[in-house]
Homo-oligomer: A and B are copies of this chain.
Amino acid sequence: MKVAVLGTGGGGRAHAVRLLELGHEVYVGTRDSQVTLGRTEPDFMGIEPFGQWVADYPGIELMNFDEAAASADFVINGIDGANAVRVLSGIGRHLAGKTLMDYAVPFIYNPEQAHPWPTPWGVMPALDPVDHDSLGERIQRALPQAKVVKACVTQEQETVVHPQAVAGGDHTMFIAGEHEDAKAEVTALLRSYGWRDILDLGPLVSSRGMEMYSHMHSAIQFALGGARFGMKVMR
């Protein structure tokens, strides 16, 4: 497939490398590719500049968001939750008819909306929207011609692309969306990543639970001292 990964953070990079390994054509999208490639310092999360990182992966092409989306048959949204709806709306014409796999959690890092929590970083970002709406639904409403599938929300993206690295792959991936053909495409991609237990949670309204699970994920991560775990539905 021709796959666009929108966003240059750690999650997007994990998908890009794995997709390249699996033989796909990979376009990574960013706001301004020249600005992204011009960075020489790690970002506020300590992530290596994209230009240095991508030098190890010939074959991964960096493009502006609109070019990446236009070039691809299948699009992965890795844009942070605070900006995703705005950015995706701006390139909506390139997403029409395409499957858009969205793994974003709508964390708001604005310190005024964060709340105290004994996390390693002292606060926990708030979720917006939460409970009565979800980012996945907002993206679908903003892009009625795209086929949004919420997936890969309840694991680190490193675990998403290498499920065997946790418990031999014996844990559960959840998907949700309104478009059965798009869910079938996402399921095929996830199987190629190595997922065996993929549970379809039905309509996109299930994005609410998937995104709201993020605080549970964090609590488990702090209890275990690391994020390399998965959740399995036992039935």
- A: residues with CB less than 8 A from B are 115, 117-118, 124, 126-127, 130-133, 166-167, 170-171, 174, 176, 199-203, 205-206, 208-210, 212-220, 222-224, 228-235
From known contacts A216-B210, A223-B200, A224-B235, infer whether A126 and B131 are also in contact, taking CB-CB under 8 Å: yes
- A231–B229 touching, CB < 8 Å: no
Residues of B within 8 A of A218 (CB): 209
Count copies of this chain in the complex: 2
Please determine whether B223 and A234 come into contact, CB atoms closer than 8 angstroms.
no
A228 to B, closest residue via Cβ? B235
User: How many angstroms between the C-alpha atoms of A205 and B117 in the bound complex?
Assistant: 7
Compute how far the CA of A205 lies from the CA of B218 in the bound complex, rounded to whole angstroms.
11
| A contact patch SS | mixed
A215–B126 touching, CB < 8 Å = no
Give 12 A-B contacts (CB < 8 Å), ordered by A residue: A115-B133, A118-B202, A166-B235, A174-B219, A199-B220, A201-B219, A206-B219, A210-B219, A212-B213, A212-B215, A224-B233, A232-B232
Given contacts A115-B132, A209-B213, A230-B235, 13 further A-B contacts (CB under 8 A): A117-B205, A118-B205, A126-B131, A170-B234, A174-B219, A174-B220, A208-B215, A209-B215, A209-B217, A209-B219, A224-B235, A228-B235, A229-B235
